[in-house]
Structure 1
Amino acid sequence: MPVHEESFAAGTPCWADVMVGDLENAREFYGRLFGWTFEDLPPEAGGYVMARKDGHAVAGAMAKNPDDPSQADTWTVYLAVDDVDAAAEQARSAGGVFFLEPMDVLQVGRIAVGADPTGAAYGLWQAREHTGSELVDEPGTLVWAESMSRDYPASKAFYADVFGYRLREIGDADFSYSVALLGDSPVAGIGAIPAQAPADVRSHWMAYFAVADCDAAAEQVRALGGTVRQEPSDTRYGRVAVVAGAQGETFAVLQRQ
């Protein structure tokens, strides 16, 4: 079991959490889909819930504020940073904005949430007691994350500038996509939203969770009240499906080769 206890290198997707209108529904959905159990944190955590796999923290969940109609049912990917305040300032200088300014989260870390210049929302996480996902490369854990953009050149420039990514193009004439490298290690992807995608598909970050069987996971999503947005298909990295939870929050499942 690959347990990850140390801090993630700056720029690495290290955590993901979901915000939904019905938190109990989400607990049931993801508990059955991924085998997660859920830990209710102390009241000062504001209702945040920790999802665990085999006892290890792997994701978070929270309820939307019913008084804030701007909040959506969505997954948020967090990128590790050594200094949230410095990273946020650099992101602003590169054209980013922030909805949640840098702030401490109890004693576990420091956080900020914003969007890149194309509108894709993401979070920054400076680890203290909580380093991020404690389990990797196992079914039910965050295994990949990518920024899909309506302005591919702008996204590449932003993430290379702010996080120091070295970008390696792996796409083709029909699909623009780069792997983001820290040193020689691939940590994330940046891609162009295909022209044939519906107009309402905006720039976004996509969280991928590992599964043992992509087709079975997609069918289970349907059985649990979710939807399959893109049917399972083979890629050079494994079999992938894009799905949505019962409340419409989109994510992907990946069966590694």
Structure 2
Amino acid sequence: MVEELIGAVAAAGAGGFVYLASAARIVKQYERGVVFRLGRLHGEVRRPGFNLVVPVVDRLRKVNMQIVTMPVPAQEGITRDNVTVRVDAVVYFKVVDPSAAIVNVEDYRFAVSQMAQTSLRSIIGKSELDDLLSNREKLNQGLELMIDSPAVEWGVTIDRVEIKDVSLPDTMKRSMARQAEADRERRARLINADAEYQASKKLAQAAHQMADTPSALQLRLLQTVMAVAAEKNSTLVLPIPVELLRFLERGHESHEAGRQTSAEDAVADVEQAQEAMEELRHAVEQ
């Protein structure tokens, strides 16, 4: 009798252990559990930790609540300004309603991936090339809104969307490189012209200053000669100021004018001497 009782207790204990083992479910900290009883959603979402379900009758589905990083395959499209590009992106999303993520959509990951690809193609067609290259923040916000709108019904929220890379045809890359080179050359010419203009203003001021003090020009000439001689060259180039040439020219003109004046005075003296001789001869004859 006692042996039968012990056997019954042992059997009940073994059955209870088997039942407990089959009914026990462990939900991790980053997961939530959704219970289906006979195919219908039952009760609230199970929290992390130890949970019990009815074996055979209940089925527990675990949903990951972590942020999922999903790369979007590169999509090829034509921009609004008729440029063919390939754009790839990455989507960060997480589940906020485990029940909706299991019940409302068959595979929320696949659904988000397809929606991201469709939205990326749409945003390429609506944007220009310059926006894709330089105004990505605005495009990222537009992509996030386009994907997040239907994802709300799936119990998923989009954390952020980032455009990773924009691939351009080689011909377009060369054209952009030529454009950038031409723009840089234009700016270099403008800077050089502005420098020449400023230098000319300074040189004009220096010329006026040297015109007021001619000795400054001589000092500048000596400094130039010293700078050239310091190079230990076999040939010394000596610049001649234009003012010196003008001074010599004025001196030559004065000398020629002086010579002409002296000749005229000599002729006048000869004429006066002839007149005096004529008067003396008349006086002798009388």
Is the helix fraction higher in 1 or 2? Answer: 2
TM-score w.r.t. length of structure 1: 0.17
TM-score w.r.t. length of structure 2: 0.16
Which has more radius of gyration? 2
Is the strand fraction higher in 1 or 2? Answer: 1
Q: Which has the higher contact order (CA 8 A, sep 6+)?
A: 1
